[in-house]
Amino acid sequence: MSEAQLRRPPKRRLPVEWLGILPFVAFAMLFLIMPTMKIVIGAFQSPEGGFTLQNLIDLNTDSIRSAYWTSIKLSLITALLGCAAGFAMASAVVFGGLPKRVRSPLLTFSGVASNFAGVPLAFAFIATLGPAGLVTLWLKTEFGINLRAMGFNLLSFWGLVVTYLFFQIPLMILIIIPALDGLKREWREAAEVLGATGAQYWRMVALPILFPSILGTFALLFANSFGAVATAFALTGPQLNIVPIKLFAQIRGDVLGNPNLGYALAFGMIVITGLANVTYIVLRTRSERWLK
Amino acid sequence: MTRFFAWTAFLLGVLFFVLPLVGMTEFSLKMRRGEYSFDAYRRVFEDQRFWDTFSYSLILAGATIVFGVLLVVPTAYWVRLKLPQARPVIEFITLLPLVIPAIVIVFGYIRLYNTSSVLPLTGSALGTDFLLTMGYATLALPYMYRAVDTGLRTIDVATLTEAAQSLGAGWITILARIILPNVLVAVLSGAFLTLAIVIGEFTMAALLNRPAFGPFMQLLGANRAYEPPALAVIAFAITWGCMGLIQLVTRFSKHERAKV
Amino acid sequence: MAFLDLTNLEKVFGTNRVVKDFSLGVDKGEFVSLLGPSGCGKTTVLRMVAGFETPTSGSIRIDGQDVTDQRTNQRAIGMMFQAYALFPNMTVADNVAFGLKVKGVPRAEREARVIEMLQLIGLPDLASRFPFQLSGGQQQRVALARALAPQPRVLLLDEPLSALDAKVRVSLRNEIREIQRELGITTIFVTHDQEEAMSISDRIVVMNGGIAEQAGAPFEIYNNPRTRFVAGFVGTLNMFTAMVEDAERGLITVAGQRIALATGAIEARNGETVNLALRPEAIRLGRAVSCEVVLPATIEAVHFLGSVIRVRARVAGTVVALDTFNRPDQPPPPLGSTAEISFAASDVILLPA
């Protein structure tokens, strides 16, 4: 073969291999990519079809701003609490000297609970912490504690936080238990023998090793609660001012009075979950230099 | 000391998870004044809409699973066998549904496939059912793909394929008779997870205006007091059943392997 | 008093007595191996010294100080584990510096010490690598450097070579021994590999079922095993049964041959059966000059191992293994042929029943 031939890539054959994933690519294009692109493009289109930034500018109203802010707050808090509580339970089971028997039921239950979201979950919490719920009544009759008078209302921000934790915590448990299992006993013993305290071991060895997993779960939990509609809708109806509920109402009845503002609202959601994931990927690559 | 904290964390968690379950069960039994009864459940089961919406969602779940398996198994197999360079892209795509909220995706469907578009899927009931099935397949994609790909990792795809080819098997035969049986456990796990996700799904079904179980539950919740917790108990039992079946097939397969 | 003193150590897990009344004194700078099959308690002894297990009873002293109830991180010891114990999130340099860092050693001093340590293990260029970028042998070298960096009083080695392949195993064990000598650090080495133990130890403690069966220099253990277990576990052994003819004069018979034992009188009654043992290298093929006992044999198998040829021959109803050196002018005997074997009465090891 001459040098020129070597340098120039040979004439492309029909890439037969790529045909094998054609159905998948077609599916992804039609039902994932294009619908999303439609939203993204729509966010920059005027009703007449021209390019405009007006939709995004129009998002800047008190009501929409506060909806975004509430949604972000809700997602951050439930992701944070979910990670913390899930981590506490998982490490209690893995390191806390709890009997081995509790581990497998906990994992199974977490699998169930992390999928027990949406409408039925809202019902369960209404029956428990709602105005006539089991715990509410019990606290009132047995201890004279009136949750409502103390400012707790299930159909409010904090009520939503408590409800979301029911699927956020198990999700964290499901992901973090295998990661905790991956911590080798030798690492802890090596650290101890070298003079490290338990706290030093966690700070310098265990947490840095777990960091990517924790971070990834955090991003997942964030997106999980940011996009959740059903639980909030079944719990509070259309009244709570968070982005997914607002978008839901907009799609159903154009409550914003401007179809293209709906695109912008949805586009904002993609941007935020997207940003959360980009942050995650960046942090992860930086913290995983020591992996292959 | 550690043990004390461990037990505290664990028991607090258990309390948090058990209370709502006890709460919904207790509430669902309180329909009759002054005594526990199954009246709420009877009301639910006497409601024709319950059966209609439930079977509708069940059928859609079945369709989603069949479509998902037919889509994911050959793709994951092919990527492992011939297109390892496409892996990162495919994996990225399969993870997208975890990032893009379902409500955004379905919003896109409504605008993309409305009656005035090239592909007016929302124009007919059947078209909308198809669209909803595709939506569910999208929601289930991350789990399904992950499960199947993990299953494929444990078998030597290339060798099995070459062996089958040397015996004269075609692609369909290889997929149906060699690959699928070997990843059956993974496929079943993915299938039951899909069922758990789809059966009570609310957002997509409600926005596409289809008579599914999720919107029915929401509707009942807005109008009744005792039936909703009964529905929650039923939904929880279904989810638990799905997860139990996953455990069952996994354990069964381990048993099978141990025998060999 | 020895530098490291283990006195009457006992460890009970549930109803299982894993270590029974174990006592051992290790002198400063000495290299002692705990040798035994898995489950013999050797690792448990080591883990008690490290402080990972608390002895059920007994005491551990290092340099005169009782450390039995001291926490691991207070004991100032170094330890190497079987494998993969390097912190995967840290570079080689950070791994080696870890012990100094938690002690609060200032940065400059730490860095100097790391360089010194990496030079000691012969890997001065790998400071910024991560563990996954190293071979198994390199990882274990770094683990050694990490253990030695804080200048521990005692070095504990928990089968550090078992996960490596044969060639690396041999070169690394010699390197470990050299470094140990150079630093004069008191060392306990746990292994189930008798060849490994014999090649690098000052002293070996053979353990079985939680007790120390015998302690001594490798030469002593190999040539004068005190129990049947030690004899069988350390090296290959050929066993014969013999009849005591005259206990007072040390006369016994094997396959009709009378042997006068070098030990003289033995503790047995006349007419009793006793067990004899012979190392493969003590048995010669053919009549050798210094060997007064000659027995007829049938050749059953020949294994050519290179410099050594191991022959299996049937003698008096049992199969014995014997080693001869390879000599180009002397091909091994054909299978099935008859031959004579011989050995010296002084090489016979008389085992307790």
**Model confidence pLDDT, tens digit, residues B151-174:** 888 888 888 888 888 888 888 888
Q: What percent of chain A has pLDDT over 70?
A: 93
Distance from CA of A134 to the nearest CA of B (A): 5
**C89 touching A (Cβ < 8 Å):** yes
pLDDT at A1 (0 to 100):
43
pLDDT at B45 > cutoff 60? yes
What are the beta bridge partners of residue C258? C253
Is the distance from CB of C124 to CB of C118 less than 8 angstroms?
yes
Query: Looking at per-residue confidence, does C190 or A238 come out higher?
Result: C190
**How many A/B residue pairs have CB atoms within 8 Å?**
256
- Express each pLDDT in B88-107 by its tens digit: 899 899 989 988 999 999 99
- Express each pLDDT in C99-158 by its tens digit: 999 999 999 999 999 999 999 999 999 999 999 899 999 999 999 999 999 999 999 999
Separation CA A79–CA A272 (nearest Å): 15
Separation CA B19–CA A247 (nearest Å): 32
Tell me if there are at least 3 CB pairs under 8 Å linking chains C and B: no
pLDDT at C80 (0 to 100):
94
pLDDT at B259 (0 to 100):
46
DSSP track, C156-202: EEESTTTTS-HHHHHHHHHHHHHHHHHHT-EEEEEES-HHHHHHH-S
pLDDT at C116 (0 to 100):
93
pLDDT at A118 (0 to 100):
87
**A241 touching B (Cβ < 8 Å):** no
- Express each pLDDT in A183-233 by its tens digit: 888 999 999 999 999 899 999 999 998 988 898 889 989 998 998 889 999
User: What is the interface pTM, i.e. ipTM, of the complex?
Assistant: 0.89
- Cβ neighbours of B207 in A, within 8 Å: 248, 251-252
CATH class entry, domain B40-259? mainly alpha
Separation CA B107–CA B104 (nearest Å): 5
B260 confidence band (pLDDT: 50, 70, 90): very low
For residue C293, how many other CB atoms are within 10 A of its CB? 19
Most confident of A100-109, A167-176, C337-346: A167-176
Query: Looking at per-residue confidence, does B37 or C97 come out higher?
Result: C97
Second CATH level (architecture) for the domain C236-351: Beta Barrel (2.40)
Separation CA A91–CA B85 (nearest Å): 38
- Express each pLDDT in B193-226 by its tens digit: 999 999 889 999 999 999 999 999 999 888 888 8
How would you classify residue C255: left for phi > 0, otherwise alpha for psi between -120 and 50, otherwise beta?
Answer: left
pLDDT at A12 (0 to 100):
55
- Cβ neighbours of B96 in A, within 8 Å: 32, 36
Angle at B27 between CA A116 and CA A234, to 5 degrees: 45
- Express each pLDDT in C12-54 by its tens digit: 998 889 999 999 999 999 999 999 998 899 999 999 999 999 9
DSSP track, B119-134: S-GGGSHHHHHHHHHH
Q: Where are the domains of chain C?
A: 4-232, 236-351
Assess if CATH 3.40.50.300 describes domain C4-232.
yes
pLDDT at C45 (0 to 100):
94
For residue A13, how many other CB atoms are within 10 A of its CB? 6
Tokens of A18: 């790529």
Separation CA B29–CA C117 (nearest Å): 72
For residue A177, what are the contacts with CB-CB under 8 A and spacing of at least 6?
Answer: A90, A93, A94, A103, A107
Question: Which chains does C contact via 3+ CB–CB distances below 8 A?
Answer: A
Query: Looking at per-residue confidence, does B170 or A71 come out higher?
Result: A71
SS3 label, residue C18: strand
Separation CA B3–CA A133 (nearest Å): 33
Q: Where are the domains of chain B?
A: 40-259
Dihedral sign of CA atoms C254, C255, C259, C262 in order: negative
A18 confidence band (pLDDT: 50, 70, 90): confident
Q: Which of C72, C88, C89 sits opposite A192 (nearest CB)?
A: C72
What is the rounded average pLDDT for all residues in chain A? 86
What is the rounded average pLDDT for all residues in chain C? 89
**DSSP H or E segment with residue B148:** helix B125-153
pLDDT at C322 (0 to 100):
87
**C68 touching A (Cβ < 8 Å):** no
Separation CA C52–CA C46 (nearest Å): 9
Separation CA C290–CA C275 (nearest Å): 23
- Cβ neighbours of A194 in C, within 8 Å: 73, 78, 98-99, 102, 146-147, 150
Q: Where are the domains of chain A?
A: 31-287
- Express each pLDDT in B115-125 by its tens digit: 888 888 888 88
Length of chain C, please? 353
**C77 touching A (Cβ < 8 Å):** yes
What are the beta bridge partners of residue C274? C242
C172 confidence band (pLDDT: 50, 70, 90): very high
pLDDT at A291 > cutoff 80? no
Residue with tokens 């379905």: B106
A9 confidence band (pLDDT: 50, 70, 90): low
Is the distance from CB of B152 to CB of B161 less than 8 angstroms?
no
Question: Which chains does B contact via 3+ CB–CB distances below 8 A?
Answer: A
- Cβ neighbours of C98 in A, within 8 Å: 191, 194, 196, 204
pLDDT at A289 (0 to 100):
67
- Cβ neighbours of A32 in B, within 8 Å: 93, 96-97, 100, 105, 138, 141
pLDDT at B139 > cutoff 90? yes
Per mean pLDDT, which range of B256-260, C70-74, C205-209, C309-313 is the poorest?
Answer: B256-260
Q: What percent of chain C has pLDDT over 90?
A: 53
- CA C43 remoteness from chain centre: 13
pLDDT at B140 (0 to 100):
93
pLDDT at B255 (0 to 100):
59
pLDDT at A288 (0 to 100):
67
**C87 touching A (Cβ < 8 Å):** yes
- HSE (CB half, 13 Å, CA atoms) of C145? 28
Give the residue-averaged pLDDT of A151-178.
90
Distance from CA of C113 to the nearest CA of A (A): 15
Per mean pLDDT, which range of A103-117, A251-265, B242-256, C189-203 is the poorest?
Answer: B242-256
pLDDT at C227 (0 to 100):
84
pLDDT at A163 (0 to 100):
94
Separation CA A265–CA A271 (nearest Å): 10
DSSP track, C51-113: TSS--SEEEEEETTEE-TTS-GGGS-EEEE-SS--S-TTS-HHHHHHHHHHHHT--HHHHHHH
What is the rounded average pLDDT for all residues in chain B? 88
Is the distance from CB of C61 to CB of C36 less than 8 angstroms?
no
> Which CATH number does A31-287 carry?
1.10.3720.10
A126/B228 CB distance under 8 A: yes
pLDDT at A253 (0 to 100):
82
C98/A289 CB distance under 8 A: no
B256 confidence band (pLDDT: 50, 70, 90): low
